[in-house]
Chains A and B, each alone.
Chain A
Amino acid sequence: MPSIKINGRDIEVEEGLTVLQACEEAGVEIPRFCYHERLSIAGNCRMCLVEMEPSPKPIASCAMPINDGMVIHTDTDLVKKAREGVMEFLLINHPLDCPICDQGGECDLQDQAMGYGLDKSRFLESKRAVKNKYLGPLVSTIMTRCIHCTRCIRFAQEIAGVPELGATGRGENMEVGTYVEKALSSELSGNLVDLCPVGALTSKPYEFKARSWELVKTQSIDVFDAMGSNIRIDSRGSEVMRVLPRINNSINEEWISDKTRHACDGLGRQRLDRPYVRRNGKLEEESWDGVLSVIAEKMINTSPKRMAAIAGDLVDCESLVSLKDLMQTLGCNNLDCRQDSGAFGNPRSSYIFNSGIKGIDRADVILLIGCNPRWEAPVLNARIRKQYLNGAIIGVIGPEFDLTFPFEHLSPDLKEIKNMLEHPSEFSDKLAKARRPMLVLGSGALAREDGEAILGAARDLAERVNIVNSEWNGFNVLQRAASRVGGLDLGFVPKTNKDLGTREILRAAEKKEIDVIYLLGSDEIEMDRLGDAFVIYQGHHGDAGAHRADAILPGAAYTEKNGTYVNLEGRCQRALRAVFPPGEAKEDWAIIRALSERIGKKLPFDNLLQVRERMSEVNPIFSNVNKISEASWGEFGSRGEIKDSEFIQPIENFYMTDVISRASATMAECTEVALAKKEKAA
């Protein structure tokens, strides 16, 4: 390990670091604009200048690799003068519009100008002005503010994998843009706003809405995909103003998808804010007292065999365990948290991302089966892309799709899994020879009628080509719904084969064999198949479920409750409440608890802590917060035939997949832009 001297202190650092990283390790902060930990080094802002002996001139620390015996000074007059010079040059062409700039208060340039800026201008010539560019409905540009750090260009190229941004012109005439004007086609474009050290790229939906210092920041968990990305919810009063990523290297690094970031305006529209009961075919407003007694009466008078409960995609584990306990004390086991009827069951390793999201960084051959990670989990897709750049080989079985990286398209037909089992192909050889092969199975593939067979075939393939061994488990299921793994962990599934799952519940309801259906935030099932059943809808948005419902219990959205979510790799995480539910809406587990009292089967918990204790009782993984619990490998799936039918992607439109994003105006705009682009291409 090389040993270097920073400001007179000797430290030993790892080989291959840059001077800036070494200084960071020594606890010395270096100002920077262009350098970013997750992007390549550009070295063009010159703000990170430090003095190195015996060099007469200061050096750019971000681009200088360390050598043994280096002597670095960061606090000398020369360094201060050099940085002040750089700052003065940067400010020459930067407008003085901080009071109306959305970046104000969280601007790197503003902060560093406090340390290195001159208090007056020596520049008497005209400032330059640059025309604003159109980058789509999410990123707003004020290009005069650009300081040409090229972070956005590098992000688009390296992380997002859409090389659409670039610079034209040189020197003072340099402009960042898309060459030919168009909207960015990345699902991660919102991250450009976070990366921009100044206010050149700002969030369009959030433009001029709030100032950073008036927002209350709450740490939370995202629910728009199953990744469980760590987010920060910024709220003002009772309104969620924006959502930003939190750094979590084992999940989302520091990126979030555009849906996670910008669907939050859907939280203010189409909200269920009071209970409703259907009388004479019309939904009428009702008090909590009234609606609970109507439901309780109905549930007491119905035989448990003729009741059912389906849970949706955004539900927290607290309400899942409450509803499960309620239904089971009533003697009803027709429960299902898999509203897409996916073939997920026991053991735990058959429905989670066994290698962990971090495991992608170690995989060398990746086989994607029946999934489109770019839409099902965009941040995870960026991670696969990163591993592709590190040399991983990627194969795809299923429909072809632009995944932002090249891959070997093995077959559009899922039958190829069986083929690979029976006749080893070129790609299965690559898998077998790989040190850490990985298989990613899409939840859409498992939701087919022959899902069990696909799961079984994938499992056999995994065993055949050594995807699963004593130190590495590369068998991964890519879940789409935030609540799915949690629901399966809590056993929110039919208890025995005689009890009904989603598919059978719908079939039975069509035949009028089900009288009461409890929908816990479930909107993505076929509502017209529910027959004459009395439908109780508990949720936060008026969507398909609320339209069909006979009784509506207004619940809380993910920003409005303290909830537990288990992400696709089986990591249990807690989200905190940022704002209160609107109107008369209540937290979901509390609604179920109140209902249980009306029915006369009071659930044994009175507060959140007791609900969580109950969750840990059902499954010990819930006491292991923020960590992945080991899942043991076992026998699962069936040896059945895989059908010949064409595989249909479960997500038609990335921007609208759930009740919140369907209510969001921003997401509607993104959809429009994406559609226009698709038509143009066709």
Chain B
Amino acid sequence: MSIRNWIYTFLNGKKIGVDEFGNRYYTGKGRKLNGRERRWVIYNGKNDASSVPAEWHAWLHYTVDEPLTQIAANSYSWQEPHEVNYTGTGDAYRPKGHDYKGGRRGSATGDYEAWKPD
């Protein structure tokens, strides 16, 4: 967070909530932009827009009036927890045979099925 943002948030921001990653969400006190209230997020740590979970994302983009934290709390069992985008980090997905995973591909690429005795 830059000094400028910190001062702006201190003077004008009204805290609405914190998500599971520790990102804090604010609206402007009274001051409006283009006819609607200002909403912004102060990231916890590195600025990473993909760390905004869906329930806050909807609120942040003016899709809903209130954050959907209630709905998110009662999520279905099959719903996966939100994950940030790992592209470019060590946790990124790499297929078998990738240079960072040993660089050795399987010998048969499986375009035919070999006969096995018995």
Give A contacts to B, CB under 8 Å: 237-239, 267-274, 276, 282-283, 541-542, 546-547, 582-583
Contacts of B116 in A (CB 8 A): 542
Sort A-B residue pairs by CB-CB distance and give the 10 closest, nearest first: A542-B115, A283-B117, A268-B112, A269-B113, A273-B114, A582-B112, A270-B115, A239-B111, A271-B112, A238-B111
Contacts of B112 in A (CB 8 A): 238-239, 267-269, 271, 273, 582
Residue B99 at the chain A interface, CB threshold 8 Å:
no
Partner of A270, one of B108, B111, B113, B118: B113
Cβ B117 vs Cβ A276 within 8 A: yes
Min C-beta distance of B73 to chain A, whole Å: 40
User: Given the complex of chains A and B, what is the CA–CA distance between A121 and B113 in angstroms?
Assistant: 49
Contacts of A583 in B (CB 8 A): 108, 114
Type the 1/0 row for B74-116, where 1 means its CB is closer than 8 Å to any CB of A: 0000000000000000000000000000000000100111111
Contacts of A270 in B (CB 8 A): 113, 115
User: Given the complex of chains A and B, what is the CA–CA distance between A21 and B115 in angstroms?
Assistant: 52
B-side interface size class: under 10
Cβ A268 vs Cβ B115 within 8 A: no
Contacts of B115 in A (CB 8 A): 270-273, 541-542, 546
Contacts of A269 in B (CB 8 A): 112-113
Min C-beta distance of B116 to chain A, whole Å: 8
Min C-beta distance of B110 to chain A, whole Å: 10
How many A-B contacts if CB must be within 8 Å? 39
Q: List 14 A-B contacts (CB under 8 A).
A: A238-B111, A268-B111, A268-B112, A268-B113, A270-B113, A271-B115, A272-B114, A272-B115, A273-B112, A276-B117, A282-B117, A282-B118, A546-B115, A582-B112
Cβ A582 vs Cβ B117 within 8 A: no
> Known pairs A274-B114, A583-B108. 17 more at Cβ < 8 A?
A239-B111, A267-B112, A268-B111, A269-B113, A271-B112, A271-B115, A272-B114, A272-B115, A273-B112, A273-B114, A282-B117, A542-B115, A542-B116, A542-B117, A546-B115, A547-B117, A582-B114
User: Given the complex of chains A and B, what is the CA–CA distance between A272 and B115 in angstroms?
Assistant: 5
Min C-beta distance of B2 to chain A, whole Å: 46
Contacts of A268 in B (CB 8 A): 111-113
Type the 1/0 row for B3-25, where 1 means its CB is closer than 8 Å to any CB of A: 00000000000000000000000
User: Given the complex of chains A and B, what is the CA–CA distance between A270 and B114 in angstroms?
Assistant: 5
Contacts of A273 in B (CB 8 A): 112, 114-115
Contacts of A541 in B (CB 8 A): 115
Min C-beta distance of B97 to chain A, whole Å: 17
User: Given the complex of chains A and B, what is the CA–CA distance between A542 and B108 in angstroms?
Assistant: 18
Min C-beta distance of B113 to chain A, whole Å: 5
Contacts of A267 in B (CB 8 A): 112
Contacts of B113 in A (CB 8 A): 268-271
Residue of chain B at shortest CB distance from A547 = B117
Cβ A271 vs Cβ B114 within 8 A: yes
Contacts of B108 in A (CB 8 A): 583
Min C-beta distance of B62 to chain A, whole Å: 35
User: Given the complex of chains A and B, what is the CA–CA distance between A527 and B114 in angstroms?
Assistant: 22
Min C-beta distance of A174 to chain B, whole Å: 43
User: Given the complex of chains A and B, what is the CA–CA distance between A267 and B112 in angstroms?
Assistant: 8
User: Given the complex of chains A and B, what is the CA–CA distance between A273 and B115 in angstroms?
Assistant: 7
Min C-beta distance of A277 to chain B, whole Å: 11
Cβ B111 vs Cβ A237 within 8 A: yes
User: Given the complex of chains A and B, what is the CA–CA distance between A546 and B113 in angstroms?
Assistant: 15
